[in-house]
Structure 1
Amino acid sequence: MDELMLVAATPFKRNNKDSLSIKDFEFVLSFDLKWMAPDVASKVRDKAIGSQLLKFEGAELAPNFDISTIEIPHGFKPSESIFKERSVIEDIIAMIVASCGTSARETTALINKKQEQLEDLVDIEVAGILTAKELGCDIDLIYDRVYSKVFSEKEIST
């Protein structure tokens, strides 16, 4: 299970609510659980929104996945890697997992299969977007990052 998804689910599960204010979400991460400083909780929140794990419903945050299927392991605490920037393909995989309910392993296999079907003529990120579209997942928020990555690499190599 994706660690960011576990972190994003925890405030909702802890409060037994389907939505929380930004303040309440960050309060749980920083003060209730003492996992991180408030400014870091804001960054984690933004990262979860950017990965489409969280969405806004009016003025409140809501998970973009079924939190009832998430089990937070006893004694769970996020590792330092949660604060690192994820690659574009990692974000695509996380979005597919959150949006479509597939596992990360299954999603990765589907993306690799798609890239093989296309005879490795497209970047892995493009194969990820195509896979997401075939699965009916909404990953519109990442198109600009994929475009930037794919075309900035092409400019460097030419």
Structure 2
Amino acid sequence: MQVMTSRFGTLEINPSDLLHFPQGIPAFEHLKEFFFYPIPENPAFTWLQAAADPEVAFLLVDPFLFFPGYAVDLPARLQEELAIKDPADALVYAVVTIPDGDIRRATANLVGPIIINPTVRLGMQLILEGTKYTTRHQLFKESFSDDESIPSSGGNEG
């Protein structure tokens, strides 16, 4: 199937690659189908693109690479809704905000992780309550000069 996107042009997507968000994502409840659009140069990041709206895409990051002490307890309700048999099998992502397009000031929302069951391709944004985390954790502690690249890493621990 062909999907129009404002960032990446027209993409050919296999329908089996779609992720279904039964409740949508907060503020985007009307959008139920998304897909990953990876960033090969930096596998720590990926885009979560809405299939039905070319303008809606979220930059995601594997939070465990930047915040090793980050922990998310998956409530039984979420595990049931996403058919997660073992929480270790779930993928956990944080939504990234890049103020004024300056990657050096990028922040991650650790209060609202995106949880994906890759086996059945179901997803949901979990809103953590009573947590020490915030919606704006600085990704890069040090500033980078214009000629330095942002470090890349791979993997996603759940």
Fold shared, TM-score > 0.5 on shorter chain: no
More strand by share: 2
Task: Name which one, 1 or 2, has greater alpha-carbon Rg.
Answer: 1
More helix by share: 1
* TM-score, scaled relative to structure 1: 0.25
